[in-house]
Structure 1
Amino acid sequence: MRLPGRLSAAIAVLTDMETRKRPVSEALKAWGLNNRFAGAGDRAAIGNLVYDALRRRASHAALMGADTPRALVLAVAVRDWGEDPAALDESFAGDAHAPTPLSADEMARLIGQLPDDTPGFVLADMPEWLVPSLERAFGDNWIAEGQDMAGRPSLDLRVNLLKAGRDRVMKSLARFHPRETAISPIGVTMQAGPRDARTPNVTSDEGYLKGWFEVQDQGSQIVAALAGARPGEQVLDLCAGAGGKTLALAATMLNKGQIFAFDSDRTRLAPIYDRLKRNGVRNVQVRAPQPGALDDLTGKMNRVVIDAPCTGTGTWRRRPDTKWKLTPELLAQRRAEQAAILVEGARYLKPGGVLVYITCSILPEENDDQIAAFRAAHSGFAPVPAQDLWQAAFGAPLPEALETAEGGLALTPRLTGTDGFYVAVLKRD
């Protein structure tokens, strides 16, 4: 397919999302099934157009004066992919699969710029109602944070030290030109390419099949390391999900001690069994959700890790459609769940035990506010200094900008080149 046909396909996918209220991944899959003539390169390009349109939806719409699929895709072609508007319009002529020719208004907008008085939330490509939260989290840098959150993410891998070293993984993936991650000492990264660049299919590599590495954002690797799990400890991973951080904790603990992996959603937990086997993990006991599943652990854990349910605002680079679906009601629901699970997690700690609270959110309501409220209601919990956590995990001083008011750590694309994450560690008396 030529670019005009790919643009038409991206418009169709966005229209399908809007009409059927379905996630972007489902809309792209449906288009691929209905258009089997499209090759892998075509599908990758169309996916990039759609995701780029959603990442910068507010600023694209402001430039075009419309929030329609056509307006967004045309803006991507020019603003993100560097196409010349006149040449783009010329390429539409005589192509049966191209969008209709550009109107005079579209041409004028595509060669123009956003005005100086463009609202900050548009420049940041964020929902307007979140501005107070973002200003509280990032101060004068909130627009820059939003702009970096609207970029394409890298593909990051965590080397499984139970089976391989980083050099071995990088050699196995040399055809994809991997690099070492900037912070995680066990990470490998492949930067996102421009325009129609394809994401490497690393899960078909023999190293993945042998358990040498897992796909995991560097930010997730960092917070797993900051959790500080040690060989021989008794650790409860209370929101284990598919097991990404469980696997990281097991490797940190050198397969020694015991990790209890639990999640309240049986479906979310299901993939963990195959992943544990592939990674060679032997110190994890999976607890399926059922009444009393964790009662025998009360007051016995050295460490409880809570990868809390959250709005996922830190993953907007990867899931930009969720950015525009987030509501105050959903945020309130997540906050209630987080407060409850912090209380639940604390009851499993032994005296002197450590509570690790993690979110993939950039909102203070889900991060520092939760820690402050928990500490106000539960005496006997003191924050472990962020500097100590960082020094123990990475053997280096803590970058000053990462520490939050409540002694937690906040990661973002602008600050650390990762997804957005938050971690706070509390020690029980």
Structure 2
Amino acid sequence: MAPMLAVQAVEPYANGRVLAWAALQQSERDEAFLQEIFADFDSRHHLSAAERALAVDIASGVVRRRRTLDRILESRVARPRSQTEPELWQILRMGACQLLFARTPQHAAVAATVELCRLLGRERWTGFVNGILRSICRLTELSPDAPATAGPSRSTLPINGGGWLPLNEDIFPDPITDRVAWFGDVFSLPSVLAARWVARMDDPTLIRTGFYCCEPPTVAIRVNQLASTTESVAEQLTKAGCEVLPGHLPQSLLLPRSQRIDLLPGWSDGCWSVQDESAMHAGLLLAPRPGEQILDLCAAPGGKSAHLAELSEDKALITACDVSDRRLHRVRDNARRLKLQSVHTRLISRDGSDLPAGPFDAVLVDAPCTNTGVLARRPEARWRFSEQSQQELIVLQTRLLFEAIQRLRPGGRVVYSTCSIEPAENIGVVRAVMSALPQLQLAQQSEHLPGQPADGAWQCMLRSPN
């Protein structure tokens, strides 16, 4: 077996597929998020925006669809996977992802993946890769008299756009008799998460959620109303060649295609930020007002702190806390770019012993969570989910909510927010806190399921007694 290829060995990245391969290798090696990896790579390549977008789409697609891709590849590869080099298997995933889930013509996807082997110095892999990918092409070839199948079955694959791709073999478990295994395989989820969702969701919600979590995400932007208008930003981006769609909120716009955000007009001028619409609801629910003292307990990277400043006309006093000075640097950079003066950062210890005492008029607790509502946007999160890690998070979430409530003035309000759709992290945490503090009032709660219409999230507002 050939020695492992180092990621640095393929610099300066001949094209988007080489960049995608390097990002995937580093993601698995360092357990890092692709978004951070590509941000780091951007200083080390000179690829066009189109090639970078291709790299992001391929790498993200492979991570999102990993279980599905592995299931299909294992049905095509005769030898045990343990006898296939990990780097070669990664290349097969990339090729299969393009064949099944991208708009790349089949012949081009096969040829480009074979060429990737050569660019990586692995000429001996080319015949094997060519054969496996052509076998996948044949899997999608149907005879004219094949019965039409327009929904879940052992031989249909959910694809981008909400459709089902018919295959000419039974690849997956039976969706009726083995629903958890089927759902996990076709929508590429760990078994523990698939079992939970199958148990608690009705069929239409389950299928809709599965599709959304596998789709390439739409980028939502929040227009800084202190610096520009939604109409002006839309016009600027359209003139720059972006496809721009109206959002579901007055201050939001949608960009359907992957973009190098920091190069788009209006970004450096502080006219807008990237934030999903479900996340915007946290600031809207808190409804900060000029003159208020506000605590953002888990502030980094600063999107919600900035939104609170914008909503309060930059006339509140917002204390943005985090346990990492490096992450707080991003909060400060973000506020500076948006020309906001009311956001002030504060480094705190992990045990919370030096949290600002308050009292505060309002507190935002955007708690660390399992990210199960944003699996399309953070595809790695699905593979990091475990019952143990969730229990550890619930302990932290509960402590953070207690800390927030203790810092409220009489009659003050707390918004507790996560991007998880797991009840134990949401209403479960709130009920535990309210059982210990029965004087609290649950004023409002809202659940945002993935794809209805944006990312999944959960928020509630609690009020302290006067």
TM-score interval (norm. to shorter): 0.7 to 0.9
User: CA offsets per residue over residues 205-228 of structure 1, 9 Å max, x none?
Assistant: 452222111122222112221222
Give the AA of the match of 1:120. F
Alignment of 1:427 onto 2:463? yes
Counterpart amino acid of residue 238 in structure 1: L
Q: Distance in 2 between matches of 1:131 and 1:410?
A: 20
Unaligned runs of 5+ in 1: 193-198, 386-407
Partner of 1:195: none
Question: Of residues 301, 311, 322 in structure 2, which corresponds to 1:263?
Answer: 322
In structure 2, the partner of 1:127 is 190
What is the deviation of 1:33?
Answer: 8.3
In angstroms, what is the RMSD of aligned CA positions? 3.1
Q: 2:62 pairs with 32, 36, 53, which one? A: 53
Preserved CA contact (<8 Å) 1:314 1:419: yes
Q: Which amino acid in the other structure matches residue 57 of structure 1?
A: R
Q: Distance in 2 between matches of 1:411 and 1:94?
A: 43
Partner of 1:404: none
What does residue 285 of structure 2 align with?
226
- Aligned pair 1:207/2:271, yes or no? no
Letter in 1 for 2:422: L
After superposition, the Cα gap between the structure-2 partners of 1:296 and 1:50, relative to the gap in structure 1 and judged at 3 Å, is: closer
In the alignment, the residues of structure 2 paired with residue 423 and residue 131 of structure 1 have an alpha-carbon distance, to the nearest angstrom, of: 23
| Match of residue 379 from structure 2 | 320
The letter of the residue matching 1:60 is L
- The 1:248–1:53 alpha-carbon spacing in structure 2 relative to 1, beyond 3 Å, is same
The 8 Å contact of residues 162 and 280 in structure 1, kept in 2 or not, is answered as no
Give the letter aligned to residue 423 of structure 1: Q
Q: Which amino acid aligns with 2:189?
A: M
Output the CA distance in 1 between the equivalents of 2:261 and 2:398: 37
**Contact 1:177/1:190, CA 8 A, preserved across alignment:** yes
Give the number of equivalent residue pairs.
393
CA contact (8 A) 2:367 2:400 kept: yes
Match of 2:250 among 185, 193, 198: 185
1:23-422 correspondence to structure 2 within 5 Å: 23-25=33-35, 39-65=48-74, 68-82=89-103, 89=110, 99-100=126-127, 101-103=130-132, 106-109=136-139, 111=141, 112=167, 114-115=171-172, 117-118=174-175, 119-135=182-198, 138-140=201-203, 141-174=205-238, 175=240, 176-182=242-248, 184-192=249-257, 199-289=258-348, 293-297=354-358, 300-385=359-444, 408-416=445-453, 418-422=454-458
AA of the residue aligned to 1:200: Q
- 1:158 to partner: Cα distance: 0.9
Deviation at 1:282, TM superposition (A): 2.6
Q: In 2, Cα distance between the equivalents of 1:53 and 1:415?
A: 24
- Residues 251/89 of structure 1: CA separation in 2 closer, same or farther (3 Å cut): closer
Tell me how far apart the structure 1 counterparts of residues 228 and 455 of structure 2 sit (CA, whole Å). Answer: 25
Greater Cα shift, 222-231 or 129-138: 129-138
Q: TM-score, normalised by structure 2?
A: 0.75
Q: TM-score, normalised by structure 1?
A: 0.81
Q: How many angstroms does 1:120 deviate by?
A: 1.7
**Secondary structure class of the residue paired with 2:451:** helix
Give the match for residue 160 of structure 2: none
2:374–2:450: 8 Å Cα contact kept in structure 1? no
Paired amino acid for 2:251 = I
Whichever residue aligns with residue 73 of structure 1, its letter is M
Q: For residues 204 and 83 of structure 1, what CA distance do their matches in structure 2 show?
A: 26
What is the CA distance between 1:19 and its match in structure 2? 5.4
Matched residue, 1:399: none
1:203–1:209 CA contact under 8 A, matched in 2: yes
- Deviation per CA, 1:18-57, whole angstroms, max 9, x where unpaired? 45655445766788888x5854433321331121111122
Aligned partners of 1:342 and 1:427: how far apart in 2? 12
1:157-215, Cα deviation, whole Å (9 max, x unpaired): 11111221112212221221322212x211111113xxxxxx33342345222211112
Q: Are the structure 2 counterparts of residues 105 and 206 from structure 1 closer, same or farther at C-alpha, using a change threshold of 3 Å?
A: closer
Q: Deviations over 1:3-31 (max 9, x none)?
A: x9866765565455445655445766788
Q: Secondary structure at the match of 1:313?
A: coil
Q: CA 1:302/1:72 → structure 2, altered by over 3 Å: closer, same or farther?
A: same
Q: Distance in 2 between matches of 1:201 and 1:130?
A: 32
- Write the letter of the residue equivalent to 2:464: R
Mapped partners of 2:301, 2:421: distance in 1: 22
Q: Distance in 2 between matches of 1:358 and 1:233?
A: 20
Indicate conservation of the 8 Å contact 2:294/2:361, yes or no. Answer: yes
CA shift in 2, pair 1:129/1:250, >3 Å: same
Cα drift, residue 116 of structure 1:
6.4
Q: CA distance change for structure 1 residues 83 and 372 in 2, over 3 Å: closer, same or farther?
A: same
Amino acid at match of 1:158: R
Q: How far did residue 131 of structure 1 move?
A: 2.8
SS in 2 for 1:65: helix
SS class of match (2:410): strand
